[in-house]
Amino acid sequence: MVRNRSLEGKTVIVTGASMGIGRHMVRECARLGAHTIIIARSTDKLERLRSEILMQYDVAVDSFTLDMGDRNALRQTFETIKWQYPKIDVLINNAGFGVFTQFEEMRFEDIEHMFAVNVLGMMTATRMILPKMRQQGDGHVINVASMAGKVATPKSIVYSASKAAVLSFTNGLRSEVRKQGIRVTAVNLGPVKTNFFKTADPEGNYVKSVERWMLEPEAVAEKVIAVIGRKKREINLPFSMNAGAKLYQLFPGAVDTFAGRIINKK
């Protein structure tokens, strides 16, 4: 295989890096020669990933333990990163989680934490890094949103609302920084085979209903990393769910009526 040299010598930040899609994105960046800065809550998992990368690839990798919902700690960590690294080429805002339950039954603490991590954490990290990218005249921000941000469904309406905010923010940011040499991409995914659902769907009902459409995290990571440096507006996976989201935007009433049984399988 001919090595893609587009990331060699680049510095890439990945939040939510210790598991799932984030972990695979870090590995793909390292394979392509990037210096990765990996961020997650678990020090042990970060160190295991860091050790694996250093053993397999001739690249630098640095880790920072951080809860993206803690904005004071987030600011301190990203302030350190800004001063420690002369150039940041890519910020991948991947950290996020969901809780799938009826809105009236959801704890308000879970609602607050979801928005703190999924939305405010993403915005804060982006705001901390943008001045450096603007000064460089180059950079790429990739925000992992969700198909749920395009079509809200029962039991995941708060998660959907948080990801709709991510998507809306991403679209607006793209317009604001376009003339400054900064690219902005939204990643809208359907269900992925990761530990995400251990928190979101502990009983496993939703996973059973969508198992046929579930994406492999390795394949998703490859597609996301492949767009770095390109003016790619969105990545939408899988195709069938993206088609359904477009149909919903055109005929919301009809989709609510005829797809109700599928939508209510959580």
Q: What are the residue numbers of the active site?
A: 159
What one-letter code names the amino acid at 115? F
Contacts with 55 (C-beta within 8 Å, 6 or more apart), sequence order: none
CA-closest candidate to residue 193, choices 174, 177, 210: 210
Residue 38, number of CB atoms within 10 A of its CB: 28
Contacts with 79 (C-beta within 8 Å, 6 or more apart), sequence order: 128
Q: Which helix (H) or strand (E) holds 162?
A: helix 157-177
- Give me the phi and psi of 92, to 5 degrees please: -110, 105
| Residues forming a β-bridge with 11 | 35
CA distance 21 to 222: 10
CA-closest candidate to residue 241, choices 206, 205, 215, 202: 215
CA distances to 55, 66, 87 from 72, rounded to whole Å, are 33, 10, 23
Residue 49, number of CB atoms within 10 A of its CB: 24
Contacts with 76 (C-beta within 8 Å, 6 or more apart), sequence order: none
Cis peptide before 202 (omega within 30 of 0): no
| Residues forming a β-bridge with 141 | 91, 184
